[in-house]
Amino acid sequence: MNPLLKMRLIGVAIAFAIYGVDQYVKWLMVEPLQLRQRGVIELLPFFDLRWTQNFGVSMGMFEADSIESRWILVGVTALIALVVTVWMFREKLFGDILGLSFILGGALGNIKDRYELGYVIDYADFHIGEFRPFLIFNIADAAITIGVLIILARAFFMRDKDDQEVDDLMQSKSADAAESQ
C-alpha cells in the first residue's frame, strides 16, 4: 500500500475513533448517568459533569434559535467537515493529517448531535471555584481544539522543516526511479 494513502487512512480511522468515543461518552451521560435529570454530578473540587444543551457553535456563537437556523448550522458544519476531509486527503505529512483527523472526528460528533437533537450535548465543566476558564464542553470540542492547536503549531513552528522533508522524499523517489530504469 502507498505510504501516503496509509497515513491518510490512519487519519480517517483516528477521526472515526474520536467520533465513536465522543458518542459513547454522550450516551453514558444521557442513559446510565442520567445527567439530564440530575443536572450536575460533582466529581472533583475543580471538575463536574453538568448537563448543557448547546444550541450554538464555538463559545455559544451563532445560536440556532429556529428550525431553519438549526438546519443551516447542520449544513454549514457538514460543509466544513467536507472541506477538512478533502484537506486531509491532500496533505502529505502525518502531523497535518493527525490534526485534521482530530478536527474531523470532533466535527462529526457534534454534527450528529445537532442533526438528531437540535443541540450539542456538553457536560465537562472545569472550574476553579466560580471561575470557569472554559465553557462547558465535550470530547468532540476538545478534539477540535487539539486538532486546531496541532495545525497552528505545525504552521508556525514546523512548516520549513516539513517542506524540506517532502523535498528530500521526492528527490529520493526520483533517484530511485532513475536507478531502476
Which residues are catalytic, by number?
A: 122, 141
- DSSP labels for 86-119? HHHHH--SHHHHHHHHHHHHHHHHHHHHHHHHSS
In eight-state DSSP terms, residue 45 is T
DSSP string, 80-95: HHHHHHHHHHH--SHH
**CA–CA separation, 166 and 163 (whole Å):** 5
